[in-house]
Amino acid sequence: MTNEKQLVGEKAAEFIQDGMTVGLGTGSTAYYFVLALAERIKNEGLKIVGVPTSIATAELAQEQGITIRSIDEVEQLDITVDGTDEFDDDLNGIKGGGGALLIEKIVANNSQEIIWIADHTKKVDQLGAFPLPVEVITEGSQQLLRYFEEKGYHPTLRLDSEGNPYVTDHKHYIIDLHLEKITHPYDLAEELIHLVGVVEHGLFLNRANKVIIAEDDAAQIITK
């Protein structure tokens, strides 16, 4: 059986050119992109700078010999390759299942091109089946949970493997909204980002330039 995540990760690495500053995504699919990129650096002498979107990705990139810098150490990024938890026909998506949505969005906003990589299950007709992550500061999180309950957004505080509140790299909590369907994503994004205590949300709208998806044991490129 084809490893779809590895397939699209390796395909995305083909888009990287010598001298680029590259955003390195977070998650199980982006993992394979980082490995493939490291292999190109090793075999071709490719010189790039990677900007990781999480501590986990930074550690992986360093292990693989990729030169890394923080987002504040570069002027802009040529390209970012990242996974996505869901995406629709307009290439709008939900991200943050891996807990790195804040820096993922900052890196994306400072990239000239954004490529998402995904297995075939991530393509949907309408966003919302995947719970929408909302990163919040810890103090006041219970108030936001109550607000989301009252709105009918079916929120849950994300927990770690030990049953404690999941804490992001930047010491925040994540509230996942189990919406099933998001009919008006732009309106929802506007509502969420203006709530006091919300740091960022996982709606990534009008950002991706292309998505590389695995289909029939081959990598297919979807563009707007």
Q: What is the pLDDT of residue 2?
A: 64
Q: In terms of domains, do 157 and 114 share one?
A: no
* Structural domain includes residue 152: yes
Residues 17 and 88 in one domain: yes
Q: Is 80 annotated as a binding residue?
A: no
Q: What is residue 82's three-state secondary structure?
A: strand
Q: How many CB atoms lie within 10 A of CB 220?
A: 14
Q: Domain holding 59: CATH number?
A: 3.40.50.1360
pLDDT at residue number 215: 83
> How many structural domains comprise the chain?
2
The annotation status of 82 as a binding-site residue, yes or no, is yes
Q: Are residues 54 and 39 in the same domain?
A: yes
Same domain, 49 and 68: yes
H helix and E strand count, the chain: 6, 13
Q: Please report, in tens digits, the pLDDT of each residue of the chain (224 residues total).
A: 469 999 999 999 999 999 999 999 999 999 999 999 999 999 999 999 999 999 999 999 999 999 999 999 999 999 999 999 999 999 999 999 999 999 999 999 999 999 999 998 999 999 999 999 999 999 999 999 999 999 999 999 999 999 999 999 999 999 999 999 999 999 999 999 999 999 999 999 999 999 999 987 899 999 98
22's tokens: 């590259």
Kindly give the interhelix angle for 28-44 and 4-13, rounded to the nearest 10 degrees. 40
Judge whether 146 and 112 are in contact, CB under 8 Å. no
Domain identity same for 111 and 162:
no
In a domain? residue 140:
yes
Report whether 51 contacts 22 (CB < 8 A): yes
| 97 carries a ligand binding annotation | yes
19 is in an annotated binding site: no
Active-site residues, by number, are: 104
Please state, in angstroms and as integers, the Cα–Cα distance from residue 9 to each residue in 24, 90, 147, 222, following that order: 11, 22, 39, 15
Give yes or no: residues 75 and 170 share one domain: no
Q: What are 27's two structure tokens? A: 């998650």
Give me the pLDDT at residue 1, please.
45
What backbone torsions phi and psi does residue 76 show, to the nearest 5 degrees? Answer: -160, 170
The annotation status of 223 as a binding-site residue, yes or no, is no
Residue 217: per-residue pLDDT: 84
Structural domain contains residue 97: yes
| Domain membership of residue 168 as a residue range | 132-201
Do 69 and 12 belong to one domain? Answer: yes
Q: Which phi and psi (to 5°) does residue 51 adopt? A: -115, 100
